[in-house]
Structure 1
Amino acid sequence: MTGFETHRLDGIEPDNLLAFMALLGLLRSLDEVRPDWLARVSWTVSDPPLRPALHCLKGVDRDALVEAAAEGVNVLAQYHEFEDRKDLAFSPKEAAGSLQGATEIADRGGYVTDLWAALFSDAAISRDGRKVEPTPLCLMFGQGHQHFLQRLAEVPRTKAPPGRGKGQGRIAVSEAECLGEALFALWKRPDATWSFRWDPHEDVRYALRARDPTDTATKETTQHGANRLAAIGLSVLTVAPVSRRGRVRLGMLGGRREIDGSFVFRWPIWRAPISLACIRSLLGHPDLGNRETMAALGIVDVRQARRISAGKYMNVTRADPESAP
């Protein structure tokens, strides 16, 4: 793009759901505080390894980009208020009240409405009629003291993780460093902070590990900056009631229920720089799997991550590719 600065985002792997949601959160944050930058994203199809490239106004360097991302996250994080609820366990009446309340909050860009509309619909109800269905990306319901709404409120507001290391070797990390690592560096996942189980690295099934993965001495940590951005990115993935086999279920932008009832989330890999609004359109395109349509839209591949259960916990897999011309 002539007249634009291009930044390769080496931290954002193409087959990681957390990374893709962090990418959405980055664009949403920049649109909030720097709309004049005209932020766009393409993928480095001809320059492996495959990564997204951010295109923005000429003269915007990495430091300015990270600073703006932090500003955007902090502006939007203040709206992550969930009525002191810890979990996505709402009755239809409670859900309707919360959704109505979100429409009455005056915020620039309608973020509050988008955020609540990504959590549930009062029309998609559990079989017993007591609760509404939560977004399929809610992978925690209190098991192991993991509470989704509590984390969705706290993670984006926590600007930096606790110091890394132990004793005198403990190193403080700034907000800018944390976000910069998530965007521009291969993830080392050094942070002892909350996550959302959207990173396939968090799948701690015993059969795959040499040691007990729940042992605090060996338990995996996370990439805090990525989780902050992804918490904002969730607002992009609107949910809505859909009819499936004679029953109203909760559908999600980019999501799909398989014949066996399992849930998968799909996202495209495209060539040309496009905006967040355009990405949303691609996620909801009815012919995303059609080879001719994908070729016409400049889509070279579609990645698909699957939601899985491991004991009482839920995780997502690495996203498998669906080849396209």
Structure 2
Amino acid sequence: MLNVRYGNVAKNLFDQFSKLLLEEVLSPFGSVETSCEVSGEAQFVDVYFEPSPSPTLAARELGLSGKIAQTPCLLEPFRNQPTPAEVRSCLLKLYQVHGDYQRKARREQESIAEEALPQLWILASSASDALLSRFGATHNDEWGAGVYFLAIGLKVAIIAINQLPLTEETIWLRLLGRGQTQKQAVTEVIAFDTRDPRRSTILRLLANWKISIELTDRVEAEEELMMALSQAYLEWEQQTEQKGRAEGEQVGEARLIMRQLTRRLGQVAPEIEAQVRALSLPQLEALGEALLDFSGPNDLVDWLRLN
């Protein structure tokens, strides 16, 4: 239905970061396309999302982001408060996508429910009362602070990121904010358990954003942003080094255990060796003690089955 183009259409480094972050957050729920071209004159939706019938995560696990991912949608992040013209440009893209949906339904001689048409989410670092008033956007108690909807038939919402509550449910969107809002979100990501895969993934994205800014010497590199990104970079660098050391220790221990097993049991079958090499460091250490009592290959097979 939609032509997709990737590459150099991002307007700036924030666009690149926001697309990568939204793709990372939303991909467990469905299909994510970035820089998605719509019909008409050359225009691109920053992020276009379609939910999966069987997502790999429950929506509640990602809070507000997961709630957004319940229906097809367009997401348009803005580093600064969008101008009225920019809001109207987003509306134009939304209705061009709606037109694509409706033309496809006619070709296939089907009807399309209003609920099946995508929703537009304008993700603004801030949204003044004047801007919200201009478009008739009003607060919806069901969605919480910072979320404003235009008239229901327009299928448009504006999220004022700086107004979102400071909870884990909003953290992924607050990372797209500015100033203290973003800095607080970065601090919360750093505080995640180091074993949480989301921590390393988000820190990597933030670290790459910092590196890109430094390489291009962009004007957007305001001091507060660079302080937040530098903090994320140091944490990512430290975690990467620790992971590298741990992986090196695991590989070395696996080699040692395999030599001991070969001397004690003879040649070990390739599939069994693969299981041994995949063990964690604590498991390898436990196997190193247990193998002293092995009398044959079956003892190793039994140990692996039980551990």
Same fold (TM over 0.5): no
Larger radius of gyration: 2
For normalisation by structure 2, the TM-score amounts to 0.25
For normalisation by structure 1, the TM-score amounts to 0.24
The structure whose RCO (Cα within 8 Å, separation 6+) is larger is 1
